[in-house]
Amino acid sequence: MIRKRIVFNGRVQGVGFRYLTRRAAELIGVTGWVRNELDGSVTMEIQGTEEQIKGVMLSLKHMIIKRGRYVRIESIDEKEVPVVADETGFRTRY
């Protein structure tokens, strides 16, 4: 089990990106959260196996191609962070 903090930069706010992210995470069955940041980026903390996290990122990519025509990711910054014990579900933070 690992946890990653992933920051998406580009046109990722006001275009349904958090919804797509949450949907991808729920389909794969990982835990964590996603939120908009004041600088226009979106941060996600995601917890699961390395394979599950890769699956979420791949699923998100396909969802953006299929439904997220206004989303434009310019860069992704990713780092490992400590695992959160007893976390359940994946939610949107405000």
Domain boundaries, the chain: 2-83
Would you say residue 68 has pLDDT above 80? no
> Residue 7, exposed/middle/buried by CB under 10 A (0-12, 13-18, 19+)?
middle
Q: What is the pTM of this model?
A: 0.95
Rounded Cα distance between 64 and 80, Å, is 24
**What's the pLDDT score for residue 59?**
96
Fold (CATH) for 2-83: Alpha-Beta Plaits (3.30.70)
Q: Which of 18, 22, 23, 91 is catalytic?
A: 18
Instruction: For 19-55, write each residue's pLDDT tens digit.
Output: 999 999 999 999 999 999 999 999 999 999 999 999 9
- Catalytic site includes residue 5: no
- Catalytic site includes residue 9: no
Q: Which of 36, 67, 69, 72 is catalytic?
A: 36
